[in-house]
Structure 1
Amino acid sequence: MEFTIGGRLEVRITPADVGKRVSVRQRSEGGGAGAEFTDTVGVLTSWDDGVVSITRKNGQSVRILESSLVAGKVVPAAPARRRGPAASFPELAAVTARAWQPVESAPLGEWRLRAAGGFTRRANSALPLGDPGVPLGEAFGRVERWYEERGLPPYIQTSTGAEGTQEALCAELERHGWRREVSAQVRIAALAPVGDLDADVSAVRLAREPDGAWLSRYQRLTTPGPHVLRVLGSGPSVWFATVAGGDEGAEEDAVPAAIGRCVVDGRWAGFMAVEVAPGQRRRGLGTAVMAALARRALDEGASAAWLQVEEDNEGARALYDGMGFATHHSYHHFRPA
């Protein structure tokens, strides 16, 4: 990371660069002549009262004293990804939202308020894809009231790390007392290689609706009420995969060994709820579920794949790395402190 001109460190950014992607170097607190330095890359989201705020691609906001800056410059947007299909943030945001459709929704300008009885934040959060039509502080208040009227915690879903994402909105949320609660990655890949994975798909059963066995393996719910089934069944073309023979001692089909869900939407196939019984892992069952669903999606004309994985799920991230998935952007759920 080069900051120098003629061997001299220079700060070549100003408050006029707010909204641009920058790289800065700061002197560590209390450092003298032999001070250590820290580098930060992200979107410059504010520069007020001697404090510089930069939002990194993972959604983390970093506040830096202007007096500690020793170098800084505007940097170009991250280069186009070499793996996976071409995709813009607005396209992927719309596709991923259609895979988790709420039971109830309402507009707030170009934002969408979504509720589904509390089942999955993706269907119980405000989706801000444009102008809310009112000042942001007022929009945040309206979001809070809308969810409180329904007995639900208020969430706003934001995205960072790609062209056109919402680093500035993340910074505004933090300034208004909202805090990032959960972060995940949206990953994309070509679909055909997923369908070509070396996996035995003969034991994978596909269905249009989740049965009781499928729901018994799904770890994100305890009581599958009608709102859960409605969200899981939402999307243009939905498929559920089941591999029988779960936990030792269970009756046939009582608790499956593995499950998965796929939503086919035009050229995109979204993969979610891929779960394998703890005692059945490392046998290729997750790969078999993915391959079977991918082949069905290819039959329906899809050519690109996406999925969402939480940043701390190292096992799933390793599995998807091996399938060719690359991170497109990250998304976050903010909640009032």
Structure 2
Amino acid sequence: MHASVSDPNLPLVRRLEAVGFRAWPASSVLYDGSWQVRLTGSHPSKRLNCVVALDPSDHRDIALRIEKAGRRFEAHGRPLLFRQTPLSPKLLIDHLAAEGWECFEEVVTMTCDLTTLELPDTMDHLPTHDIGRFVDADITVHETDPALKPALAEIITSIKPPTGLFVIEDPETGPVAATLCVQDNDLAGLMSLAVRPDKRGNGIGVEILSTALRWARMRGARTAWLQVVSDNEPALALYAKMGFTEAYRYHYWRKKAGA
């Protein structure tokens, strides 16, 4: 099992959270104090539809603020989710637990020093500028609902920092891997990396990851980051092999049915 960081670097957490928001932007972002309320009616991604508290000391009027957020999520037809990071107030988490909420899905945020990483001197795959092509590839390799294509295209179009869209294709069977790399000054975020299930274990993951990291480093990025669900052992092994180490973890909270 991947060892958890017991004492995360809070300034680093704050910075990675900030670039993460820019790398995967919600269509609606409001603030209640330091609580960020993220909603995206067109896409069900948990990262795009959750409340994230960004100050450990901001724990006033917890019950009232949860109720207020709940009404907003209900209006958007979304279940109210809280995303717990090392920046979340302890009193908020204690309140959720006491009120019958359940914690689910642990995600590991990892970083890698690009200045010391050994990468090929050449890029085998140049980024595409065709968002439609990339979205089709992403949906194929993730095996997600094609109906989400317009929403995913809208999300990618709304990313403000420079973004590289990478696709590896087989001439006969189509897309086999895809990822996007968002370069935000000296930080580069790897998003939505996946290899088609029937093509895994053939080095394609290393190939597309190396290409994206090389692109980011050529543009001045010094540190790469990514997020992966903690029970995805093959992905964790791949990222560790590439030099990534854990920075912190986050979890989601939802109201138990009937609670």
TM-score by shorter chain over 0.5: yes
Pick closer, same or farther for the CA change 1:197–1:127 going to 2, 3 Å. Answer: same
| 1:330 maps to which of 240, 244, 249 | 249
Q: Which residue of 2 aligns with 1:135?
A: 61
1:122 aligns with 2:47: yes
Q: Which amino acid aligns with 2:215?
A: R
| 2:108 maps to which of 162, 171, 185 | 185
Instruction: Give me the whole-angstrom Cα distance separating, in 1, the residues matched to 2:164 and 2:186.
Output: 16
What pairs up with 1:177-326 in 2 under 5 angstroms?
177-194=100-117, 196-197=118-119, 201-202=123-124, 204-208=125-129, 209-211=131-133, 213-219=136-142, 221-222=144-145, 223-233=147-157, 234-245=159-170, 252=171, 255-326=174-245
Q: Please report how far the alpha carbon of residue 188 of structure 1 lies from its aligned counterpart in structure 2 after TM superposition.
A: 0.7
Q: Which residue of 2 aligns with 1:94?
A: 18
Report the RMSD for the aligned CA atoms in angstroms.
Answer: 2.6
Q: Which amino acid aligns with 2:128?
A: A
Residues 294-319 of structure 1, C-alpha deviations (whole Å, 9 max, x = no match): 12111221100100010110000000
Q: Please report how far the alpha carbon of residue 182 of structure 1 lies from its aligned counterpart in structure 2 after TM superposition.
A: 1.5
What pairs up with 1:161-176 in 2 under 5 angstroms?
166-176=89-99
Instruction: Give me the whole-angstrom Cα distance separating, in 1, the residues matched to 2:177 and 2:234.
Output: 15
Q: Determine if contact 1:241/1:259 at 8 Å carries over to the other structure.
A: yes
Q: Please give the secondary structure, in 2, of the residue aligned with 1:151.
A: coil
Instruction: Give me the whole-angstrom Cα distance separating, in 1, the residues matched to 2:44 and 2:96.
Output: 23
Q: Please report how far the alpha carbon of residue 273 of structure 1 lies from its aligned counterpart in structure 2 after TM superposition.
A: 1.4
Q: Which residue of 2 aligns with 1:4?
A: none
Pick closer, same or farther for the CA change 1:315–1:153 going to 2, 3 Å. Answer: same
Pick closer, same or farther for the CA change 1:286–1:167 going to 2, 3 Å. Answer: farther
Q: Percent identity?
A: 25
Pick closer, same or farther for the CA change 1:270–1:158 going to 2, 3 Å. Answer: same
Pick closer, same or farther for the CA change 1:129–1:168 going to 2, 3 Å. Answer: same
Q: Determine if contact 2:188/2:216 at 8 Å carries over to the other structure.
A: yes
Pick closer, same or farther for the CA change 1:264–1:185 going to 2, 3 Å. Answer: same
Instruction: Give me the whole-angstrom Cα distance separating, in 2, the residues matched to 1:210 and 1:241.
Output: 12
Q: Which amino acid aligns with 1:153?
A: P
Q: Please give the secondary structure, in 1, of the residue aligned with 2:211.
A: helix
1:157 aligns with 2:47: no
Q: Determine if contact 2:183/2:216 at 8 Å carries over to the other structure.
A: yes
Q: Determine if contact 1:107/1:113 at 8 Å carries over to the other structure.
A: yes
Q: Please report how far the alpha carbon of residue 226 of structure 1 lies from its aligned counterpart in structure 2 after TM superposition.
A: 3.1
Larger radius of gyration: 1
Q: Determine if contact 2:50/2:80 at 8 Å carries over to the other structure.
A: yes
Q: Determine if contact 2:141/2:177 at 8 Å carries over to the other structure.
A: no
Unaligned runs of 5+ in 1: 1-56, 59-76, 81-85, 246-251
Structure 1 stretch displaced more, 207-216 or 276-285: 207-216
Pick closer, same or farther for the CA change 1:109–1:165 going to 2, 3 Å. Answer: closer
Aligned length: 247
Q: Which amino acid aligns with 2:108?
A: Q
Q: Determine if contact 1:185/1:331 at 8 Å carries over to the other structure.
A: yes
Q: Determine if contact 1:113/1:126 at 8 Å carries over to the other structure.
A: yes
Pick closer, same or farther for the CA change 1:216–1:78 going to 2, 3 Å. Answer: closer
Q: Please report how far the alpha carbon of residue 171 of structure 1 lies from its aligned counterpart in structure 2 after TM superposition.
A: 2.4
Residues 52-85 of structure 1, C-alpha deviations (whole Å, 9 max, x = no match): xxxxx68xxxxxxxxxxxxxxxxxx7497xxxxx
Pick closer, same or farther for the CA change 1:221–1:282 going to 2, 3 Å. Answer: closer
Q: Please report how far the alpha carbon of residue 334 of structure 1 lies from its aligned counterpart in structure 2 after TM superposition.
A: 0.9
Q: Please give the secondary structure, in 1, of the residue aligned with 2:85.
A: strand
Q: Please report how far the alpha carbon of residue 106 of structure 1 lies from its aligned counterpart in structure 2 after TM superposition.
A: 1.8
Instruction: Give me the whole-angstrom Cα distance separating, in 1, the residues matched to 2:37 and 2:143.
Output: 22
Q: Please give the secondary structure, in 2, of the residue aligned with 1:282.
A: coil
**Larger RCO: 1 or 2 (CA < 8 Å, sep 6+):** 2
Please, what TM-score do these two structures have when normalized by structure 1? Answer: 0.66
Pick closer, same or farther for the CA change 1:184–1:166 going to 2, 3 Å. Answer: farther
More helix by share: 2
Instruction: Give me the whole-angstrom Cα distance separating, in 2, the residues matched to 1:324 and 1:88.
Output: 18
Residues 13-40 of structure 1, C-alpha deviations (whole Å, 9 max, x = no match): xxxxxxxxxxxxxxxxxxxxxxxxxxxx
